[in-house]
Structure 1
Amino acid sequence: MTGQTATLPIRPLTPDDVDLVCHHRHAMFVEAGKDAESLARMTPAFRAWLAPRLADGSYFGFVAMDGERAVAGIGLMEVAWPPHPLHPDQDRRGYVLNVYVEPAYRQRGLAHTLMQWADEAFSARGLRYAVLHATDMGRPLYEKLGWSQTTEMAKAVEAVRGA
């Protein structure tokens, strides 16, 4: 896929985009108020996790370019999930992550455009249901695009002693 917003071309992520995706993810979490210590541990672990997935295509997505500069991006995955009332005949879901627009490029419709590209990519893969975790900043956009909150809850599970 190739395309363009009103002024910026969009291209698919490639395996060479590891640093870019890591930068966007780190910046996204900084802006969401996550602490520096957890981010210092997360970013190298994420890089190690991401590289093989970009290479094999199980992590895919798109980047908006201003000349040679990547100014916005979105990551996508197809995840195994048991059939559910919201997708009773499918054993997988789309997953959106790492939506990020550089501050100087915000309010130009880039995130909106990238989310539309995500819908098209999921549809092309036959995925009829997708999920994401929204930051406070992103929530209004996602709601405008038809996303709604679910009843999902989360909990950090402590490591078993001796493990």
Structure 2
Amino acid sequence: MARLRWDWRIDAGEVPPSTLAAFTADLGDWLDDHAETHLGFVAEVDGEVVGIAFLAVVERVPGPGVWDRRSGYVQSVYVDPAHRGHGLGRRLVDAVVGEAGTGGLQYVSVHPSERSFPLYERAGFVRNGRTLQLRF
């Protein structure tokens, strides 16, 4: 997982501020600390991890008669460029959505890149123009 997160940043033209080894250790610690809220999924080809995705589960404020209002966010879906075009991204998204559905979440959202919109729409996601965001 760490190698693919690292490669993703490299593919985006970024220069990570640490080494892959340091990032791998740090990400391992972070994933251990967030195991209940960030569920990881991998796609493998011949025993090699070539794709990753995460389901981030968010507790929302309860309402009258609706105590469990958890929702989810699809995060960090990435497939190694050499393995794209073979349905691995879709399988990862389907795995995340399946877990969200069986896990009792009310809905799952994603903030896709322009390139990935078709992937999510084929998986049943619909555009919701009600989301606003303020970046810092």
Match of 1:23 in 2: 3
Amino acid at match of 1:61: G
Match of 1:40 in 2: 17
Q: 2:92 aligns with which of 101, 114, 125?
A: 114
Match of 1:153 in 2: 132
**Are the equivalent residues in 2 in contact too, given 1:61–1:73 (CA < 8 A)?**
yes
CA distance in 2: counterparts of 1:137 and 1:27, whole angstroms: 18
Gaps of 5+ in 1: 1-19, 158-163
Q: How much has 1:83 moved relative to structure 2? A: 5.8
Answering whether residue 80 of structure 2 is matched by residue 102 of structure 1, we say yes
Amino acid at match of 1:68: G
Q: 2:60 aligns with which of 81, 93, 96?
A: 81
Match of 1:53 in 2: 34
Gaps of 5+ in 2: none
The 3 A distance-change label for structure 1 pair 53 and 94 is: same
TM-score of the superposition, structure 1-length normalised? 0.64
Number of aligned residue pairs: give it. 127
Deviations 1:52-92 (A, max 9, x none): 223xx4321321112221011111121112369xxx94421
Query: Any idea what SS the aligned residue of 2:90 has?
Result: helix
Amino acid at match of 1:96: V
**Are the equivalent residues in 1 in contact too, given 2:69–2:105 (CA < 8 A)?**
no
CA distance in 2: counterparts of 1:135 and 1:92, whole angstroms: 24
CA distance in 2: counterparts of 1:81 and 1:122, whole angstroms: 15
Stretches (4+) displaced over 6 A: none
**Are the equivalent residues in 1 in contact too, given 2:39–2:55 (CA < 8 A)?**
yes
